[in-house]
Amino acid sequence: MEQWRVEPMLDFRRIEMSDFPALRKMYEKYGNWSCDCTICGTYMWRDYLDIRISLEEEKLIVYQQLDGKHLFYIPLMEDRIAGIREIVAYMKEQGEECYFYPVANEELSLFEEAGYRIETERDEGWNDYVYDITALANMKGKKYHNHKNHINKFNALYENVELLDIRDVEPAEYLQFLDDYVKSEHKKATIAKEENVKAKEVLSDLEAYGVVGYVLKVDGKIVGLEVGEILGDYYYSHIEKADKTYNGVYSKLVQLVSQDLQEKVKYMNREEDLNEPGLRRSKRGYKPIGYIEKNQVKILD
């Protein structure tokens, strides 16, 4: 992917692990609660999307490259309108069109306030799915009928089931589980391959990423893995893998993880479905309470 740099107004560079504390602070303070505005959401995809940052005290500007466009996050700073104007001026100096993504619905008014005319694009596949964590922990009512059936089957078929904190499990165990999962899935899409590579990267350095994680075992064997991060009232599910030969394993994993998290957060963000039919059915089946709708914004004038 072609490397791109703009100067002298803003200075962009690759993300380093040493940036994590500052990024986490800025995402919690100014982020739009989308999965993009998380440590893993940024760092896991830094190569695939050629993500770069400009980081100063109380000011973070992020861009990613996709489909030949440079897409800027809404500036993470107190005066976001000033930040938008700085980016637009910066792109004009480069002779480039100016795009912003991901822009939440409530952030669209910032462009009008900044004095710009815009064109927006929204794709349903970009939406983040948001769930009530207590609802997932309990799965009560008719709307969860299918998942309750899956969980009941799991409970009837398997004994000696335990959900463990990932830090209480030997890394070699869950890294081997991930390798076995990747081999069993046979996914050839570039984005799927990149996700698997970066998932292993995260699992190899849990402390640096500041993630929480769980391992589901049956008779001492790993059958499920869940890793994510907490920002504010949200838990972001970044890595979720399970052995589908175990009947109902995904429903059981989601319920047990949610039960452990319900005293820590209010919501679970299970990220996008990217218009994949199977993912869409799965994510809708857990009955989201809402979506974070993300827009791509083009500055017209």
pLDDT grade for 5, boundaries at 50, 70 and 90: very low
Among candidates 80, 40, 45, 88, which has minimal Cα distance to 66?
Answer: 45
- Please state the domain extents for the chain: 17-126, 128-271
Which pair of tokens denotes residue 86?
């700085």
Q: How far apart are CA 76 and CA 73, in angstroms?
A: 8
pLDDT of residue 6: 41
Q: At residue 109, does pLDDT exceed 60?
A: yes
Residue 108, classified by CB atoms within 10 Å of its CB into exposed (0-12), middle (13-18) or buried (19+), is: middle
The CA distances from residue 144 to 216, 249, 270, 284, in Å, are 21, 15, 17, 11
Q: At residue 1, does pLDDT exceed 70?
A: no
pLDDT of residue 188: 66
Is the pTM higher than 0.75? The answer reads yes
Fold matches, 17-126 and 128-271: yes
Among candidates 216, 126, 201, which has minimal Cα distance to 169?
Answer: 216
Amino acid identity, position 129: Y
Fold assignment, 128-271: Aminopeptidase (3.40.630)
Radius of gyration of the CA atoms of the chain, in A: 20
Q: Is the CB of residue 43 less than 8 Å from the CB of residue 210?
A: no
Which pair of tokens denotes residue 176?
């081997």
Q: At residue 98, does pLDDT exceed 90?
A: yes
Reported as a single tens digit per residue, the pLDDT across 121-172 is 999 999 999 999 999 999 999 999 999 999 999 999 999 999 999 999 999 9
pLDDT of residue 9: 65
Amino acid identity, position 48: Y
- What mean pLDDT is predicted for residues 201-212? 96
User: Helix 190-203 vs helix 171-185: angle between axes, to the nearest 10 degrees?
Assistant: 170
Reported as a single tens digit per residue, the pLDDT across 57-69 is 899 999 999 988 9
Q: For 17-126, which CATH superfamily applies?
A: Gcn5-related N-acetyltransferase (GNAT) (3.40.630.30)
Q: At residue 2, does pLDDT exceed 80?
A: no
3 state SS for 199-239: HHHHHCCHHHHCCEEEEEEECCEEEEEEEEEEECCEEEEEE
- What mean pLDDT is predicted for residues 256-282? 97
Q: Is the CB of residue 16 less than 8 Å from the CB of residue 209?
A: no
Q: At residue 174, does pLDDT exceed 50?
A: yes
The CA distances from residue 152 to 13, 24, 272, in Å, are 50, 39, 28
pLDDT of residue 185: 80
pLDDT of residue 192: 84
CB atoms within 10 A of CB 182: 18
Q: How far apart are CA 53 and CA 13, in angstroms?
A: 6
Average pLDDT, the chain: 94
pLDDT of residue 53: 97
